[in-house]
Amino acid sequence: MWNLEHVKRSAGASEKKVFGFHEEDTLLHDPVLHTLALAFADDAFLNGFSGPEQIYDLAVPLQSDRLRLLWKKDWAERPIFRTTEGLHMAIDKALTYCKTRGHLIRLGRALGYAKKLEFYDLRRGSGKKLNEALTPEERNKSMGHRLGDSSTYVRYYMGDFIGSDNQSIVNWKFKMTPN
């Protein structure tokens, strides 16, 4: 689990969020793998794991659905995504939005996107997927929408294009539109 702080603010206050993560089949998208790599590089585990084999040999207790690995206190307080100081990784300085945004824009250009790639684009795409998979309450909590309804999602995350096949719905054909 990650305790995310300093995330999207609403009405001037940042709301604490705790997300659970699991391993992914596609290693590029696997937050557990990346976190383990950072933790081993920083010798972050309280019980001194020296390699991933020791973790994968552990068993989840029958009465639980997860296994919590504890961090050393000094590492638990560090930002996960940190900036650099010269050639070295900073110990306690978080990677700034401005610096990360610049990297994301350059990545978008390298990938050939005509439009400048921004964090909002990732958030909007994620919001669409969350909207399809979660209840409105779960989506609002995940995205930090506090109004208690779908108005924030509809106003800021839904595009102008209506992708549903309204013609078929009105004509009683009820076809599904491809994504």
DSSP per-residue codes, 78-103: S-SSEEEETTEEEEEEEPPHHHHHHH
User: Is 24 strand, coil or helix?
Assistant: coil
Tell me what the mean pLDDT of segment 90-117 comes to. 92
* pLDDT bracket for residue 89 (50, 70, 90): confident
Given a cut of 60, is residue 10 above it in pLDDT? Answer: no
Q: Global pTM?
A: 0.62
**118 or 169: which leads in pLDDT:** 118
With a CB cutoff of 8 Å and minimum separation 6, the contacts of 152 are 140, 143, 145
Q: Check residue 142 and give its pLDDT.
A: 78
* pLDDT bracket for residue 166 (50, 70, 90): low
- List the one residue out of 3, 1, 43 whose CA is nearest residue 22: 1
By the 10 Å C-beta count (0-12 exposed, 13-18 middle, 19+ buried), 44 is classed as buried
Tell me what the mean pLDDT of segment 132-157 comes to. 77
